[in-house]
Amino acid sequence: MTHSQFSVIACLAIAIFAPAANAAPRVGHHGGLILDCKPPQFFDQTPGKDAKAISIQDFSITASDNTDPETVKAWANSEPVEIKVTQERSGSYLIKGHLKAPVTAGKVWFRVNAESNDGCDENSSWNVFAGN
């Protein structure tokens, strides 16, 4: 085999196998390998997406029943918000948050993140506008 033939074969091998070498198996928050997972779903935001309110201080959102409640986190305008997560009779989770101070002008960007029981994570974000 000549040097140029070897170079071509080596380049082909790298092109074929390099992506697989860089791909590490995903590991869930419980430490197990993630082979297939279903991320949590979010719905029923209050106040709703792009809603207008005179003042904004409380919010809620519901997460699907495959959500791991220990992983739920929330932010308002990129600041962490204390939340309470309660499982409903349906199995889904009601997430309630309370801002430290009411927002009476401008926009509040809410973001909620959680992982499913099998390790997939998901985000939900929405805007609410405060003022007259």
Cα separation of the two ends of the chain: 79
How is residue 85 written in tokens? 């997560």
How is residue 9 written in tokens? 């074969």
pLDDT of residue 21: 44
Residue 131's SS3 state is coil
How is residue 94 written in tokens? 């009601």
Q: Please state, in angstroms and as integers, the Cα–Cα distance from residue 19 to each residue in 6, 15, 106, following that order.
A: 21, 8, 46
pLDDT tens sequence across 14-28: 555 544 444 445 565
DSSP state of 71: G
Of 121, 99, 94, 122, nearest to 110 by C-alpha is 99
- Please tell me the pTM assigned to this model: 0.74
CATH of domain 42-130: 2.60.40.1220
List the domain boundaries for the chain.
42-130
pLDDT of residue 36: 80
